Chains A and B, each alone.
Chain A
């Protein structure tokens, strides 16, 4: 084999390898993501606690529900709560469940300063085992999940979303 032929073979092998590695990585990532998304479609049976330490079962909530993973210190979560207040004025039938991994005492202090979660159909819960956050692969807060009356996922939103957009999504379902 001549030197030129060897170089050509080497280039061909390198390019083919690069192509195959990238294509494999892409397909692999796609299926991992797809599987992960499929796991979220049904509301999981993972225990949560209310702030008094009692079991809180999300599955038993009726109608449309918004789960929001949040942290009381996060500014975007505070802005999200403002939007929820706006949403509440226009849509009263849905349930909003705040979920946080923060220490229980901190959450209790928080709901004393933020009355939103003391209103009917709004709940603040404690993900004391972090299993719920792990199940949903929560990386940032706020992270919203909207489930319909049959506990099937309608929409997942990473980050803040304003009331108008939320209403548009919810009205499509109704």
Chain B
């Protein structure tokens, strides 16, 4: 990874971690978790779970950059394959950089989520926090009467995801020197198809586990 990409990637990880920590503090997620667990477990068991979470919290800090790196690398490769289908050649590192830059748009989601629960919907539970995704279809349908396997696809269909597609298409347009319609076509036929497969896979596993 080139140094400028590394700096950008480091900034992305730091932003995710920062928002995560601020969310934890402002929304008091640990108390929410304890309150939810107290409905099912004894006080000692809840303390045990909370202590376990605190002890292993550092793993999140290690896993986050690994998962992000993997996600960006895989999406860059998928778009690489998309470009290959229209007989265009572009270096993988440039695609990696494009995907990395576009990834910043997803930071909007946790920020909006934090704002929503901190300023507007101040009376909320852990389930509300888990199921809410800003600017998504789930905010129209609601999740109270939804089957658990139907929650993820409705969260995934959101305006931030749409903006991500446009951002990716815009950068690919510049990289490949093609018109926007064609670059959006690449994003749709490569990333779009894989996203659809991913959503079905998540739905399948949720259905079987519920």
Instruction: Report A's interface with B, CB cutoff 8 A.
Output: 4, 7-8, 11, 15, 18-19, 22-23, 25-26, 29-30, 33, 75-76, 79, 159-160, 162
B91 in the interface (beta carbon within 8 A): no
Choose, from B21-29, B114-122, B175-183, B192-200, the stretch at the interface.
B192-200
B60 in the interface (beta carbon within 8 A): no
Instruction: Report B's interface with A, CB cutoff 8 A.
Output: 39-42, 81, 84-85, 87, 193-194, 196-197, 200-201, 203-204, 207-208
Question: Cβ of B197 and Cβ of A19 under 8 Å apart?
Answer: yes
Question: Cβ of B196 and Cβ of A25 under 8 Å apart?
Answer: no
Question: Cβ of A26 and Cβ of B197 under 8 Å apart?
Answer: no
Known: A18-B197, A22-B197, A23-B200; 19 extra A-B contacts, CB below 8 A, are A4-B87, A8-B84, A8-B85, A11-B81, A15-B193, A15-B194, A15-B197, A19-B196, A22-B201, A25-B204, A26-B203, A29-B204, A30-B207, A33-B207, A75-B42, A76-B40, A79-B41, A160-B40, A162-B39
The chain B residue sitting closest to A165, CB to CB, is B39
Q: Give the number of residue pairs across the A-B interface with Cβ within 8 Å.
A: 39
10 tightest A-B contacts by CB?
A26-B204, A160-B40, A22-B200, A29-B207, A162-B39, A19-B197, A25-B204, A29-B208, A22-B201, A26-B200
Question: Cβ of A26 and Cβ of B39 under 8 Å apart?
Answer: no
Q: How far is the CA of A75 from the CA of B42 in the complex (A)?
A: 9
Q: How far is the CA of A23 from the CA of B201 in the complex (A)?
A: 8
The chain A residue sitting closest to B45, CB to CB, is A75
The chain A residue sitting closest to B207, CB to CB, is A29
Q: How far is the CA of A99 from the CA of B41 in the complex (A)?
A: 22
Question: Cβ of B40 and Cβ of A159 under 8 Å apart?
Answer: yes
When distances are taken between beta carbons in the complex, the residues of chain B under 8 Å from A162 are 39-40
Question: Cβ of B40 and Cβ of A22 under 8 Å apart?
Answer: no
Q: How far is the CA of A30 from the CA of B42 in the complex (A)?
A: 35
| Smallest beta-carbon distance A53→chain B, Å | 34
- Tell me whether chain A's interface is mostly helix, strand or loop, or mixed: helix
When distances are taken between beta carbons in the complex, the residues of chain B under 8 Å from A159 are 40
The chain A residue sitting closest to B203, CB to CB, is A26
Question: Cβ of B200 and Cβ of A19 under 8 Å apart?
Answer: yes
| Smallest beta-carbon distance B128→chain A, Å | 16
When distances are taken between beta carbons in the complex, the residues of chain B under 8 Å from A75 are 42
Q: How far is the CA of A22 from the CA of B201 in the complex (A)?
A: 6
A-B contact pairs, 14 of them (CB 8 A): A4-B87, A8-B84, A11-B85, A15-B194, A19-B193, A22-B200, A26-B204, A29-B204, A30-B207, A75-B42, A76-B40, A79-B42, A159-B40, A162-B39
Interchain CB contact (< 8 A) of B40 among A19, A23, A79: A79
Q: How far is the CA of A11 from the CA of B85 in the complex (A)?
A: 10
Q: How far is the CA of A159 from the CA of B84 in the complex (A)?
A: 51
